[in-house]
Amino acid sequence: MKDRWLGVGAAAFIIVGIVGLLFAGAVSGPGTTRSGAGTSGTAASGAGTVDGFASNGERIYYSGVGSNGPISVAWAYQSGFPGMMGQGMMGRTGCVMCHGADGRGRVIRMMGPVVEVPDIRYATLTSPHQETSGTTPGWTDAQIAVAVRRGVEPNGKALDSLMPKWEMGDSDMRDVLDYLKELSRR
């Protein structure tokens, strides 16, 4: 029994390390162009910046911090590791952790499971696309908000259990939508 918990603990440390490396690469990796980088981290540090970010939407995307402070999240995913229940494996961060600095998504490999993280740029979400069941219409802003807040697609299907449910107000949601539009222009 003791060996089992030792193995579980070691796996947890490895996963946390991998996630940390992914986060570090997403936030500061080569090719990352985040406006506001290098500022002192306060709203007064430059004209038009929010805590060193170009907008509140960008700040939410990178840090999970909205206009009223950290945005609460609910996780459908239960990691199974002691001390991590209800937090998922990502801890406290924003969308960039999984969707990448460019919002285009990627494949994340984590000790067994492979997660295909989708492209969440606004143009991608709102454009019709082909699926195995035929053409799916693009999402509306309201449907994107439901997906972010409740983890549900417009067709009623649950998003991947690794996707947190953000308890985000309307103003912060509008700011995130604006930032996803900005990512579409890059």
pLDDT tens digits, 109-121: 877 788 899 999 9
**Radius of gyration for the chain, computed over Cα atoms and rounded to the nearest angstrom:** 17
Question: How many structural domains is the chain composed of?
Answer: 1
What per-residue confidence (pLDDT) applies to 38? 35
Question: Angle, to 10 degrees, between the axis of helix 170-184 and the axis of helix 56-63?
Answer: 90
The pTM score is 0.69
Q: Do 44 and 72 meet the contact criterion of CB atoms below 8 Å apart?
A: no
Average pLDDT (136-149) is 95
What per-residue confidence (pLDDT) applies to 62? 95
Chain Cα centroid distance, residue 96: 5
For residue 161, pLDDT beyond 70: yes
What per-residue confidence (pLDDT) applies to 112? 77
What per-residue confidence (pLDDT) applies to 70? 94
Chain Cα centroid distance, residue 117: 10
pLDDT tens digits, 76-98: 554 443 333 344 444 558 999 99
CA angle at residue 178 from 174 to 179, to 5 degrees?
A: 120
How high is the mean pLDDT of the chain? 76
Domain ranges, residue 148: 2-184
What per-residue confidence (pLDDT) applies to 126? 96
**CA–CA distance, 180 with 61 (Å, rounded to integer):** 9
